Chain A
Amino acid sequence: MHKDYWRSNLKILIILISIWFMVSFGFGIIFSDFLDQYQIGGFKLGFWFAQQGSIYLFVVLIFIYVYLMNKLDKKYKDQNDEEDKH
């Protein structure tokens, strides 16, 4: 039971941390020059990710994590309650 909870938790973490790495180190640094050939308004895309986009996505990532973990906590709690009844 605890093992399942922990495994689901790790899965969420690995996915979210990969996205975190991709938007900051990926788009903002490693592929930044490549992305600079595209432009949104006056921003070159790589520059925008480095100075704006990554920050916004960090906020979004944390709230996705909060949502997924609350769901997982609830599921785990419901299952626990089930077991107590038996």
Chain B
Amino acid sequence: MDTQSLTYLFVGLSFALYVGIAIWSRAQSTNDFYIAGKGVNPVANGMATAADWMSAASFISMAGLIAFLGKDGSVYLMGWTGGYVLLALLLAPYLRKFGQYTVPDFIGTRYYSNAARLVAVICLIFVSFTYVAGQMRGVGIVFSRFLEVDINLGVVIGMCIVFFYAVLGGMKGITYTQVAQYCVLIFAYLVPAIFISILVTGNPVPQLGFGDTIVDSSTYLLDKLDQVTTDLGFNAYTQNSKNKIDIFCITAALMFGTAGLPHVIVRFFTVPKVSDARKSAGYALIFIAILYSTAPAVSAFARINFIDSVQNVEYQSSPEWFQNWEDIGLIAWKDKNDDGLIQYSAGDALEGTKPKFVEGEGNYGERLVSNNANQANNNEVYIDRDIMVLANPEIAQLPGWVIALVAAGALAAALSTAAGLLLVISASVSHDLLKKTFMPKITDKQELLYARCSAAVAILVAGLFGIYPPGFVAQVVAFAFGLAASTIFPALFLGIFYKRLNMQGAIAGMLSGLIFTSSYIIYFKFINIEFNYAQHWFLGISPEGIGFIGMMINIVIALAVSSFYSKPPEHVYEMVDNIRRP
């Protein structure tokens, strides 16, 4: 069978599996729908959390980003795993003890205020939709490249699948589907990584392989990579190029942001006991670490294979994948010195960075772009970092079934995260906005109906994001983590560890974190884009890392304002005492 039919087969089989599980685990009550009846085994919950967490960005984009960033890419590796330590130690057990359905639930009850609940709901919806938009783009890329269907049709198919199991099954259906999706995605990630590790270094364990010597030579892979990257004018692969303060703040913002992401926190509401919540966070991190420790190895292999297979190669005899990705516009080549050979080095190949393709072919059959060549360097290749993981098996010339597997894995990663996010959005609408704020009289049955309706609406909105992708998806990711770190995390953390914090302090803290972080990001990402580099940043901190400063501001303001107003009422003290008890 050719790669194309294998891809259809693998994707079709995995989709059938997800739908089957959804029918088997339908939700019967709001308890099932929001938190899976609190009956999920901690290991299964760990797997589901891992699938929920590892999005299209982790699966498709992260290794590619690290391949081009080198050591600077460590911020993602540490940031997106270290947050689980904070979650396990500082939040999960206590929130599970609290025993309600949603994150705004906790904030609303702890700060005895529907205003606080509303601020939390707004942050949550914003963070979650930002995230969903990224998933739908991932689904679109996979469908258009591997199944050669129209991107829009691909998004619609993805929506139907998610609709089916999220609306029908709620948290229960999603949890068990995510367990299956985790298995698919981790298998799909590891198989090509192991193959490539054996090909490049002869070591079957990728985590060790990228610290090993290259086959038939005594040079270490990373030493060769340092050599090659500096020769081409890049920063050495194993050295930082960003300033330390910025690296520190980005890592911290990603860590505290991870611990404050509502769709992750809510997973710990689904286990039977407090001790299970702790254990479950540990299992989740093991399952996540399997992918995250493999990713930097994939990055190193991809970078070296990419350079080896295109550098000074004639365009006409360039590998098939190079032209395939050029066809869908994620690679471009502009022959600056007109020698018919591909030359790759540091710097943007084109003016304005991203290629604008026009009709027609160049001298060697390449797609023409309307951009002028950037004469400041000799680089002739534009490459979108998102394609590295997807192209990696082709670059390493692995068999067709591995490529098909990667397509199914990428879809599993995107769909599992999208479903988890959609559920959090629907729960916050039906539970926090309707039941707890505006329509307290509705019955459990009606609330379940509203939950299903809002899940359906959320899926439609997410689908629209996929079909008409907002051009700012990459920019708003900084937003999602920055806001989670500067609003949700401190409100939860202080709520548990500082009893004296009252309603006024918490609301002032959340609002100041929200306003500071979002205005910094909006200023540099949308208003004054040309100023978005280190000299203009506050203390050299990029918009990606500013959430950490926002969090500090939140905490200071919350404590200060709190001291001017009276203590929280007695029942809040009792509630905090209660969640601190095992």
Q: Which residues of A contact B (CB under 8 A)?
A: 2, 5-6, 9, 13, 16-17, 20, 24-25, 28-30, 32-33, 36, 40-44, 47-48, 50-52, 54-56, 58-59, 61-63, 65-66, 69-70, 72-73, 76-77
B82 part of interface (Cβ distance < 8 Å): yes
Q: Which residues of B contact A (CB under 8 A)?
A: 66, 71, 73-74, 77-78, 81-82, 84-86, 88-90, 93, 207-208, 210-213, 220-223, 238, 240, 244, 247-248, 251-252, 255, 275, 278-279, 281-282, 285-286, 289, 292-293, 296, 577, 580-582
> Which among B66, B210, B282 has the greatest number of chain A C-beta atoms within 10 A?
B282
Residue numbers in A under 8 Å from B220 (CB-CB): 41-42
Residue of B nearest to A70 (CB): B275
Is the beta-carbon distance between A56 and B279 smaller than 8 angstroms? no
Is the beta-carbon distance between A55 and B278 smaller than 8 angstroms? no
Is the beta-carbon distance between A58 and B289 smaller than 8 angstroms? yes
Q: What is the minimal beta-carbon distance from B132 to any residue of chain A, in angstroms?
A: 27
Known contacts A66-B278, A73-B275; is-contact A52 B85 (Cβ 8 Å): no
Is the beta-carbon distance between A58 and B296 smaller than 8 angstroms? no
- Told that A40-B211, A62-B282 touch, could you supply 8 new A-B pairs with CB distance under 8 A? A25-B252, A28-B251, A30-B244, A58-B285, A59-B282, A59-B285, A59-B289, A62-B278
Q: 11 A-B residue contacts at CB 8 Å?
A: A2-B581, A28-B74, A28-B251, A48-B211, A51-B74, A54-B77, A54-B78, A55-B292, A58-B84, A61-B85, A69-B278
Known contacts A44-B238, A54-B78; is-contact A30 B71 (Cβ 8 Å): no
Cα distance, A54 to B207, chains bound together (Å): 13
Main secondary structure of the interface of A (DSSP, over half): helix
Is the beta-carbon distance between B577 and A2 smaller than 8 angstroms? yes
Q: What is the minimal beta-carbon distance from B304 to any residue of chain A, in angstroms?
A: 13
Is the beta-carbon distance between A17 and B289 smaller than 8 angstroms? no
Residue of B nearest to A40 (CB): B211
Residue numbers in A under 8 Å from B90 (CB-CB): 13
Residue numbers in B under 8 Å from A76 (CB-CB): 582
Known contacts A42-B223, A62-B84; is-contact A56 B251 (Cβ 8 Å): no
Cα distance, A24 to B84, chains bound together (Å): 13
Cα distance, A16 to B86, chains bound together (Å): 10
Residue numbers in A under 8 Å from B86 (CB-CB): 20
Is the beta-carbon distance between A56 and B238 smaller than 8 angstroms? no
Residue numbers in B under 8 Å from A24 (CB-CB): 78, 82, 251, 255
Residue of B nearest to A42 (CB): B220
Is the beta-carbon distance between A42 and B211 smaller than 8 angstroms? yes
Is the beta-carbon distance between B85 and A20 smaller than 8 angstroms? yes
Residue of B nearest to A76 (CB): B582
Is the beta-carbon distance between B89 and A17 smaller than 8 angstroms? yes
Known contacts A13-B89, A20-B85, A29-B248; is-contact A50 B78 (Cβ 8 Å): yes
Cα distance, A56 to B207, chains bound together (Å): 11
Residue numbers in A under 8 Å from B71 (CB-CB): 32, 47, 50-51
Cα distance, A81 to B315, chains bound together (Å): 78
Known contacts A32-B240, A48-B211, A73-B275; is-contact A62 B281 (Cβ 8 Å): yes
Cα distance, A51 to B286, chains bound together (Å): 15
Which of B77, B88, B252, B281 has a CB less than 8 Å from the CB of A55?
Answer: B77
Is the beta-carbon distance between A41 and B78 smaller than 8 angstroms? no
Known contacts A42-B213, A66-B278; is-contact A16 B89 (Cβ 8 Å): yes
Residue numbers in A under 8 Å from B248 (CB-CB): 25, 29-30
Is the beta-carbon distance between B292 and A47 smaller than 8 angstroms? no
Residue numbers in A under 8 Å from B208 (CB-CB): 41
Cα distance, A7 to B89, chains bound together (Å): 14
Residue numbers in A under 8 Å from B78 (CB-CB): 24, 28, 50, 54-55
